[in-house]
Amino acid sequence: MWKYMSKKKNVQTTLSEETYQKLITIAKKNDLTLKQILQNAIHQFIDFNSGINPQDPIFNLEPVAYGSKEVSEKIDSILYGEKN
């Protein structure tokens, strides 16, 4: 579940009767409250507009084993020279 901040804000809006009834129908079909439906919709909107795609394969990369725990030290010595 999303938690941007511990402090919460209430928001209010006006919907057409048709939109309201559609939301109620969806909520009942999914055994969710109207509040849960609207919170989910808001979070999806934020995700979509954040510029970060959670489905991007970069988020599913597996760690690579290089066979040696000293690899980073070897890379450092190649890049920056031997330690004194």
**pLDDT tens digits, 6-51:** 788 899 999 999 999 999 999 999 999 999 999 999 998 988 888 8
Query: What's residue 1's pLDDT?
Result: 47
13: nearest Cα among 44, 45, 38: 38
More reliable by pLDDT, 79 or 1 = 79
Average pLDDT over residues 48-70: 82
Answer yes or no: is pLDDT of 81 > 90: no
Answer yes or no: is pLDDT of 54 > 60: yes
Q: What is the CA radius of gyration of the chain?
A: 24
